[in-house]
Amino acid sequence: MTESRLLAHHAVLSGSGSAATVLVHGFGCDRHIWRAVVPRIETLSRVLAYDLAGCGDSVSTWDPARHGSLQGHADDLLALLDEAGQDRVTGVGHSVGSVILLLAALAAPQRFERLVLLAPSPRFLNDPPDYVGGFEQRDLDELFQLMESNHFGWAQFLAPMAMGQSNPVSLTRDFERALCSLEPRIARQFARLAFSVDVRALLPRLTVPALIVQCADDSLAPVAVGRWMHARMPGSSLVELPISGHCPHVSHPEEVVRLLRGVLHA
């Protein structure tokens, strides 16, 4: 008997209403990263939150072949929607979770009502002269080398960049602990997938309406990234929040909830 994907990914279904929402977390996170958001939208929508394979409580679900590409994670998402009986959903993705969501929406656009992309990036690497992703190749090479040699050192390096210097130190420490708790081998592979991704050529093919949410001061995905995506995604809209960091649903959940409630009401 095939194992339930909902169980394998420790999916949590909550909320009520005619709308349905799926939440896709980013690198270094799990389903609990949405804890400040879910209670505030579940009066408007049924909500599905889950752990990506290799993350949170779903380490044993990770398969090096299937999850050797982000498409494998997108296939997981579509399988979860099938099992949960969610036919048309609002997909909310954070960072690389946004890319996973995009891949799923490209493969099965009929499954998605709309997308909300929080701090997305189709490519983290700069590609001069027309694209500013935020990183040079040497920056990523140093990060990957640090992950190989010092599992805790890279967490201390990445956490402040993700949370933003102007946000509470407690958020940075929480995220650092989450990074340190990752299974090292899986973390290294997932980091390479996330930071080496390039899905720019796919953006014009998206037919599902998308809201791009960009933070004004984001060290991982500069504001230029959101504007670049908006210019190339038909039917997209862009909101630039006047906040710092790469995780608005953690540092400023009230802003994200306000946007989500507006989307779900619409």
Quick one: pLDDT band at residue 151, thresholds 50, 70, 90? confident
Would residue 28 count as lying in a domain? yes
Q: Which uninterrupted H or E stretch holds 125?
A: none
| pLDDT of 1 | 39
CATH number, domain containing residue 29: 3.40.50.1820
Quick one: pLDDT band at residue 63, thresholds 50, 70, 90? very high
pLDDT tens-digit map of 168-225:
999 999 999 999 889 999 999 999 999 999 999 999 999 999 999 999 999 999 999 9
- Is the pLDDT assigned to residue 7 strictly greater than 80? yes
Indicate the DSSP class of residue 52. Answer: P
| pLDDT of 2 | 56
**Active-site entry in 95, 98, 121, 251:** 95
pTM score:
0.96
Would residue 148 count as lying in a domain? no
Per the prediction, the chain carries an average pLDDT of 94
Range of the domain at 253: 5-123+198-265
- Of 148, 145, 103, whose CA–CA distance to 122 is shortest? 103
Would residue 205 count as lying in a domain? yes
Total domains, the chain: 1
Would residue 40 count as lying in a domain? yes
Would residue 33 count as lying in a domain? yes
Would residue 138 count as lying in a domain? no
**Active-site entry in 67, 76, 218, 249:** 218
**Active-site entry in 94, 246, 249, 252:** 246
Mean pLDDT confidence for 152-179: 90
Mean pLDDT confidence for 157-171: 91
**Is 218 in the active site?**
yes
- Of 239, 219, 220, whose CA–CA distance to 229 is shortest? 239
Half-sphere exposure of residue 133: CA atoms within 13 angstroms, side-chain side: 21
pLDDT tens-digit map of 234-249:
999 999 999 999 999 9
Look up tokens 């270094």; give the residue: 28
**Is 141 in the active site?**
no
pLDDT tens-digit map of 83-142:
999 989 999 999 999 999 999 999 999 999 999 999 999 999 999 999 999 999 999 999
151 vs 147: CA distance, rounded Å: 5
Would residue 261 count as lying in a domain? yes
Quick one: pLDDT band at residue 165, thresholds 50, 70, 90? confident
pLDDT tens-digit map of 30-52:
999 999 999 999 999 999 999 99
